[in-house]
């Protein structure tokens, strides 16, 4: 592979061009006639001068140094890219959507508003909730919106003193972080030996100061919270609300709905389960669904339908207000809607079934080689522990690096925190048996090498453009500017 080693600025050659235009056959206007001098720079802007192929090769080489779902298996548990069908790119770039301006008159936005309206209808059906806001633009943003809505609900009932949010120790890190951001005190409860919420500990934690319980079901161990109906009853009896972290709904879509389990508020990551590529930090959509009694507090505007007309309703006096400019990341909503319509009810159910089947297949193969903390039927993901390998001299982080040499993106490592040397694997529904077997073969091989010569794995990767990075330096001493000499 030819590597892009230099910056475009460094390979620039004075006078080289990526275009050739015919000679100008009209009188050229002096620049000063086009732009007043006080608006012009004094020195010409220093831009790299290159031919077209140089630019193409540079960017293509850069893109090949990256790892994505289009280049290989990507089993990054919890946060993985699921299926990103290419038709989504086509629908999202239809000129009628792509060239809209959010300040256009509502009468000219009818198609976009209809799409939001019907996306909400679809997501209501999938989650069993009564209303959905498409405004939040990330999972964590959806969590914050959801907790603000819960806070507004309690205050409206004169119960604003409820100041605690209960979070299990298996929770995604964003849950306690969000609760803190929303001004709550976080009460952490342990998991029991099944890897599920310890109901007795929950009973102790619940009280008149409970605002909400935040729960992921299946949890981050990939395990379904079997006692969910009992848990919901207990939280409601204590006057609290149930918050569902639905970032990874691909575990249960079409089979079970948070609304039916007793949840009052849920967020979805449309950029995970509903098919938007989300590498590199965006764009996302953390749509928030609520039950009727909490719906008046949703952000403004909501999208409503009256006869054949769609409109944005800003007249919602109990709303928490706006949580993002305009209507959120509309492009992601287009993709989610396309996905919903492409899959249909049966297709969504099949996607969950396949995701769960793939995870269980891999789990049963790999538990022979790696320690499996909770040997139970899993949902869309499972968590192995590399503690035996770590004792032999190479742990979860080393195994992750070594997998890169086999052409696989590593699983999530060292999360959830309750599993020592965690390797969290989410194969997703789109992978075939050969891919899963290839990945399992690689992990088995790595374990065998660790038994013989752990140093070899500790020094990996050997085949990537860069080896082990100084991750702290990369964060603290990031160089993103180029300066002309």
**Which residues of the chain form contacts with ligand PLP (CB under 6 A)?**
78-79, 138-140, 172, 174, 216, 245, 247-248, 269, 284, 286
The minimum distance between CB 457 and ligand PLP, in angstroms, equals 28
CB of 289 to ligand PLP, least distance (A): 15
Residue pair 297/318 in contact (Cβ under 8 Å)? The answer is yes
**Cβ nearer to ligand PLP, comparing 277 with 284:** 284
SS3 268: strand
Contact in structure between 382 and 221 (CB atoms under 8 Å): yes
Q: Tell the smallest beta-carbon distance from residue 443 to ligand PLP (Å).
A: 22
**Measured from the CB of residue 137, what is the shortest distance to ligand PLP in angstroms?**
8
CB of 234 to ligand PLP, least distance (A): 22
Residue number with CB closer to ligand PLP (247 or 295):
247
- Shortest reach from residue 19's CB to ligand PLP, in Å: 40
C-alpha span between 74 and 360 (Å, rounded): 17
* Secondary structure (3-state) at 252: coil
Closer by beta carbon to ligand PLP, 221 or else 394: 221
What is the Cα–Cα distance from 109 to 14, expressed in whole angstroms? 47
Question: Looking at beta carbons only, is 77 or 254 nearer to ligand PLP?
Answer: 77
Whichever of 139 and 461 has its CB closer to ligand PLP, that residue is: 139
Tell the smallest beta-carbon distance from residue 89 to ligand PLP (Å).
20
Q: Which is nearer to ligand PLP, 238 or 351 (CB)?
A: 351
The number of beta carbons lying within 10 Å of the beta carbon of residue 79 is 17
327 secondary structure, DSSP code: T
38 SS3 class = helix
Q: Which is nearer to ligand PLP, 246 or 395 (CB)?
A: 246
Question: Which residue of this chain has its Cβ atom nearest to ligand PLP in the complex?
Answer: 139
**Encoding tokens for residue 9?**
């600025």
CA 114 to chain centre: 25
Distance CA 353, CA 356 (A): 5
- Record the tokens describing residue 454, joined without a space: 């752990």
Q: Tell me the β-bridge partners of 185.
A: 164
The stretches of 189-298 forming alpha helices (DSSP H) are 199-205, 228-237, 258-261
């Amino acid at each position: 592979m030819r590597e892009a080693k230099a910056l475009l600025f460094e390979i620039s050659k004075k006078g080289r061009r990526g275009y050739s235009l015919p000679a100008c056959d009209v009188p050229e206007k002096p620049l000063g006639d086009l732009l007043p001098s006080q608006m012009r720079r004094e020195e010409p802007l220093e831009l790299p001068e290159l031919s077209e192929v140089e630019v193409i090769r540079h960017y293509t080489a850069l893109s090949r140094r990256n790892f994505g779902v289009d280049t290989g298996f990507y089993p990054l548990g919890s946060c993985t890219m699921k299926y990103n069908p290419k038709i989504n790119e086509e629908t999202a770039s239809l000129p009628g959507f792509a060239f809209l301006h959010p300040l256009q008159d509502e009468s000219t936005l009818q198609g976009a508003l209809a799409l939001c309206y019907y996306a909400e209808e679809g997501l209501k059906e999938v989650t069993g909730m009564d209303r959905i806001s498409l405004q939040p633009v990330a999972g964590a943003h959806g969590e914050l919106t959801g907790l603000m809505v819960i806070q507004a609900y309690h205050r409206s009932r004169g119960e604003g003193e409820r100041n605690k949010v209960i979070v299990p120790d298996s929770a995604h890190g964003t849950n306690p972080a969000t609760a803190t951001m929303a001004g709550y005190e976080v009460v952490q409860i342990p998991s029991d030996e099944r890897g599920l919420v310890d109901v007795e500990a929950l009973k102790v934690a619940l009280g008149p100061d409970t605002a909400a319980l935040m729960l992921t079901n299946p949890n981050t161990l990939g395990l379904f919270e079997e006692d969910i109906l009992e848990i919901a009853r207990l939280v409601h009896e204590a006057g609290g609300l149930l918050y569902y972290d639905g970032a990874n709904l691909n575990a249960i879509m079409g089979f079970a709905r948070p609304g039916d389990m007793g949840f009052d508020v849920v967020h979805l990551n449309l950029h995970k389960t509903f098919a938007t590529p989300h590498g590199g930090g965006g764009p996302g959509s953390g749509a928030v669904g609520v039950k009727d009694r909490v719906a008046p507090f949703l952000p403004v505007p909501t999208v409503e339908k009256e006869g054949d007309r769609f409109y944005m309703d800003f007249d919602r006096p109990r709303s928490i207000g706006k949580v993002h400019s305009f209507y959120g990341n509309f492009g992601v909503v287009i993709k989610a809607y396309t996905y919903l319509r492409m899959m249909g009810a049966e297709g969504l159910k099949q996607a969950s079934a396949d995701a769960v089947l793939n995870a269980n297949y891999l789990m049963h193969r790999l538990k022979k080689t790696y320690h499996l903390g909770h040997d139970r039927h899993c949902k869309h993901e499972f968590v192995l522990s590399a503690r035996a390998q770590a004792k032999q001299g190479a742990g979860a982080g080393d195994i992750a690096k070594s997998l890169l040499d086999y052409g696989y993106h590593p699983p999530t490592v060292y999360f959830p925190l309750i599993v020592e040397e965690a390797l969290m694997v989410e194969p997703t529904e789109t992978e075939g048996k050969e891919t899963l077997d290839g990945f399992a073969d690689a992990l088995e091989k790595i374990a065998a090498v660790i038994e013989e010569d752990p140093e070899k794995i500790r020094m990996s990767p050997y085949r990537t453009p860069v080896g082990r990075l100084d991750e702290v330096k990369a964060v603290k001493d990031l160089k993103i500017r180029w300066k002309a000499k």
